[in-house]
Amino acid sequence: MKRDTEIHMKGGVITERNADFCTVRTRIPAGIVTLEQVRGIAKIMKRYGKDMVHLTTRQTIEIPHVDPKVLPKLAADLEKNGTPIGSERDEVVNIVACPGLERCVFANIDSGNIAKMIDKRLFGKEMPVKVRISISGCPNGCTSPMLNEIGISGRVDPLRTPGLCTGCGSCVMYCREEAISIKNGISVLNEDLCISCGTCVRSCPFDLLKSRGVRYLITVGGRRGRHPHIGRELISLSDPEEVAIVVEKVVTWIYRKAWSGRHLYEQMDELQFEQFKTEITSKVTAARDTT
């Protein structure tokens, strides 16, 4: 069993204002906990913490007011519960995701499963900078993917079947971007205004609006906090496995190139993000050509 100091030195254990105590953060990809895990955490907090827990902005549960001496036992119990000690330092921290296709009517992608796939590959990897990854099922961006170091957002581009539109105006009414209008009795799309939410595709009562296919838009270099920053677009992909592979490539690129002590968004030009983007795009294209 690891010693309490060894555990304290790792991410996920945060010294409190009263330095005699620490808060222990858990690893819960996409914020999904089972009934048994909730019961387990209730027992663990009663045994080692106070009679409360805290829900973090990164969808984890943290147990406050823990005596560092009990950390080895607490760590073992959390591991057994399937909610091990998490991370919060310069690492790949808890992967955040919205409910996605599992529950949300606006969703274009299965956010939770992608979060779990990425968590398996990358959670806790020590990095020169903190890497937050967030997934949203549509451009509504409930988990603010563009304000994370790596963001993934589900998009659907509409395509109207030529000549069949009745001009009923349903899609016009549902499009919140005013990207569709009726001209000469048929709907016309303004692609400059469209943000690819896919709502119009689901709104056509005659099923005349088709999807060009779901795509996963990956952004890099976003930042929340005191100097918020929007991430830059890297690539759009159509396959979740490919998304996990490309996200791993982004993490490797950050690991190899980024400077510690500065946020990723501050270094994007120095790290030659545009060149990296070109390389990723050509690798993905070449891989597709060989399959």
Where does this chain bind ligand SF4 (CB under 6 A)?
98-100, 104, 106-107, 136-138, 140-142, 158, 160, 165-171, 174-175, 177, 179-180, 187, 189, 194-200, 203-204, 206, 208-209
DSSP state of 219: E
CB of 219 to ligand SF4, least distance (A): 14
CB of 190 to ligand SF4, least distance (A): 8
DSSP state of 183: E
CB of 60 to ligand SF4, least distance (A): 18
Contact 109, 100 (CB under 8 A): yes
Pairing of strands 232-237, 180-183: unpaired
Which is closer to ligand SF4, CB of 64 or CB of 141?
A: 141
Which is closer to ligand SF4, CB of 47 or CB of 103?
A: 103
CB of 112 to ligand SF4, least distance (A): 10
Contact 231, 250 (CB under 8 A): no
CB of 208 to ligand SF4, least distance (A): 4
Strand partners, 155: 215
- Helices assigned H by DSSP within the chain: 4-9, 35-48, 71-80, 111-122, 170-174, 199-203, 240-257, 264-267, 273-290
Which is closer to ligand SF4, CB of 33 or CB of 138?
A: 138
Tell me which long-range contacts 270-277 makes (C-beta under 8 A, separation of at least 24).
273/220, 273/221, 273/232, 277/232, 277/234, 277/235
Name the residue whose CB lies closest to ligand SF4.
Answer: 137
Which is closer to ligand SF4, CB of 96 or CB of 284?
A: 96
CB of 69 to ligand SF4, least distance (A): 41
CB of 98 to ligand SF4, least distance (A): 3
Which is closer to ligand SF4, CB of 23 or CB of 111?
A: 111
CA–CA distance from 284 to each of 118, 177, 277 (Å)? 18, 31, 11
Which is closer to ligand SF4, CB of 63 or CB of 146?
A: 146
Report the alpha-carbon distance of residue 157 to residue 196 in Å, rounded.
5
Q: Reduce the DSSP state of residue 209 to 3 states and report it.
A: strand
Which is closer to ligand SF4, CB of 20 or CB of 191?
A: 191
Strand partners, 134: 96, 151
Report the alpha-carbon distance of residue 157 to residue 194 in Å, rounded.
8
